[in-house]
Structure 1
Amino acid sequence: MNITARLTELGVTLPDAPAPAANYVPFVTVGNIVYVSGQISNGPDGFITGKLGENMDVDAGAAAAKSCVISLLAQVKTACGGDIERLVRVIKLTGFVNSTAEFTDQPKVINGASDFLVEALGDKGRHSRSAVSAASLPFGVAVEIEGIFEIK
């Protein structure tokens, strides 16, 4: 499967990889494994902010999660020297959802990322994951996701 062609079919162009917002690197490559730092929900108009269970619903949260995973793929592309076709598979995602104490649908929110990866990458996109609640996230964003990827 040609990843670039599939992303184009889905109407997705990978943005430039976001720069880190503090004293860390956006990714670390160890052998053929790329560990990507948390990517926050971001759209064409800036950060996607909100708190699930308070002022954001699951569908909006899932869209925010999808934006995070697109940024993750942009980081992987950079880690691969600009060649996203070097991506072998997604290994693991850890998703953090800015949510109230009563909100319990964090997995449904992170499905926005997981579903997109499978749609875009097929079996390469199937991964293990965690979906957890956070009382708050940087800049008030709705979702942050970090990932582990295998490359060649």
Structure 2
Amino acid sequence: MSISARLEELGVSLPDAPAPAANYVPFVKVGNLVHVSGQISSNSEGLITGKVGSDLDVTAGAAAARQCAISLLAQVAAACGGDIDKLVRVVKLTGFVNSGPDFTDQPKVINGASDFLVEALGDAGRHARSAVSAAALPLGVAVEIEGIFEVE
């Protein structure tokens, strides 16, 4: 099954790739790798903000991470001229969690992105990963994730 068909089956429509918020590009393609800049947690209602472990629980944090993964795929599609089916595999994610002072479940939060990518892409969604705490993230968002992707 194609990636676009699988996303449709999951009820996921890729948004327009978010524009950068400062002096950087949203992705850089080098050979068959696409390096996607950090995508912040947002949905159709706006930014998903707050500190996980204080304002948000792990489930809400994981949902925010899932939204970051959807934005990452939107950037990959943009890098491939709008064709998400040129994605070969997810190589690596680095996830940052806006964490409360005693919060230590960052991997469970970033699982929201990882689980979604495996659900959507199968084995091609399995990846290397880091999940780290941040005292604060841009605009107060709950999660930011950057990624490296292999494309055709």
TM-score in terms of structure 1 length = 0.99
How far is the alpha carbon of 1:78 from its aligned partner?
Answer: 0.3
List structure 1 runs of 4+ shifted beyond 6 angstroms: none
Q: Which residue of 2 aligns with 1:112?
A: 112
How far is the alpha carbon of 1:63 from its aligned partner?
Answer: 0.2
> What CA distance in whole angstroms lies between the structure 2 residues aligned with 1:29 and 1:43?
26
> What CA distance in whole angstroms lies between the structure 1 residues aligned with 2:67 and 2:84?
17
Q: Is 1:93 aligned to residue 93 of structure 2?
A: yes
> Across the two proteins, how many residue pairs are aligned to each other?
152
User: How large is the RMSD of aligned CA atoms in angstroms?
Assistant: 0.5
* Paired letter, 1:44: S
How far is the alpha carbon of 1:101 from its aligned partner?
Answer: 2.4
* Paired letter, 1:146: E
> What CA distance in whole angstroms lies between the structure 1 residues aligned with 2:2 and 2:68?
21
Unmatched tracts of structure 1, length 5 or more: none
Secondary structure of 2:18's counterpart equals: coil
Q: Which residue of 1 aligns with 2:79?
A: 79
Q: Deviations over 1:85-134 (max 9, x none)?
A: 10000000000000022100000000000000000000110000000000
Q: Deviations over 1:35-91 (max 9, x none)?
A: 000000001110000101111000000000000000000000000011111000000
Q: Which residue of 2 aligns with 1:31?
A: 31
Unmatched tracts of structure 2, length 5 or more: none
Q: Which residue of 2 aligns with 1:12?
A: 12
Secondary structure of 2:85's counterpart equals: helix
> What CA distance in whole angstroms lies between the structure 2 residues aligned with 1:115 and 1:21?
27
Identity in percent? 78
